[in-house]
Structure 1
């Protein structure tokens, strides 16, 4: 979820097509920072999906977020490709195949949140061999 400022009004926005980690979930802080780095203080276009409700259960606007002056264009695709969020694509989302492809690329290369949940084994620290016996 992101906040959006329009003149003097602030709106909560639920980004169509992704599910980002929150709270204490693995990679939540990095995902939030990714959103700040790519959205805060930048011009974006919010676009409603005709097949989705206008708001989510929390009252946030449900919108695609299109990045202005950014080669990636769609924020959800960028976040999924970089592993900052999981694709949450349904038949009702226009860019579902692109979102799923972006997520697969991040998952296959172990980027972002795909380093969580045991998807990449973490090597155990080497045990301290202790002092060596004198020759």
Structure 2
């Protein structure tokens, strides 16, 4: 800085300070940064068929049957063509049947997961009649693994589902116990 500009800079700083006296910082406590999720779309449906531990068919109130892939979990395969039945797959399907078959549940979307998958299935959370999230319940019972499709936008319940899986793993429940020990 040259010698002649110092008074101008000092004067400029003094003017800025004088202007800012008495100003209060903006309240930004409720502000969010990054993406803001829209409110979820919810729909009451009846589970008419359990395909496996993470896929069901539902009937809507207007009688439309839709296939739903449950968001946030993955269960061992039992129905995939050219794939053997995986360890704990039948048990995961039985768990889903016990909790979901014939039940009136609430589906809700997760804007981070998208609307449908590559197979045309709706991507939805399933809320049980007692208010529990099926994804969390399945992970906590050891019937499912936490599953994140896109690491840049993990599902809204990813942390809760992962914590439930950790509890099942620590307790050796379901696919985390014998004979699978977390393997397929």
Structure 2: how far apart are the matches of 1:83 and 1:92? 21
Offset at residue 116 of structure 1 (A) = 5.3
User: When the two structures are aligned, how many residues end up with a matched partner?
Assistant: 118
TM-score of the two chains, using structure 1 as the length reference: 0.80
Match in the other structure for 2:94: 33
Q: Which structure has the larger Rg? A: 2
Normalised to the residue count of structure 2, the TM-score between the two structures is 0.60
Equivalent-residue separation in structure 2 for 1:19 and 1:62 (angstroms): 12
Partner of 1:102, secondary structure, is helix
What corresponds to 1:78 in structure 2? 137
Which residue does the alignment assign to 2:157?
95
Structure 1 residue 115: deviation in Å? 2.3
Query: Is 1:19 paired with 2:74?
Result: yes
Find the aligned partners of 2:162 and 2:179 in 1 and give their Cα distance: 19
Query: RMSD across aligned C-alpha pairs, in angstroms?
Result: 1.7
Q: 1:117 & 1:97 partners in 2: Cα distance?
A: 27
Question: Runs of 5+ in structure 2 lacking a partner?
Answer: 1-54, 79-84
Whole-Å separation in 2 of the counterparts to 1:108 and 1:69: 26
Per the alignment, residue 59 of structure 2 pairs with: 5
Structure 1 ranges of 4+ moved more than 2 A:
89-92, 115-120
Distance 1:66 1:25, change over 3 A: same
Q: Which has the higher contact order (CA 8 A, sep 6+)?
A: 1
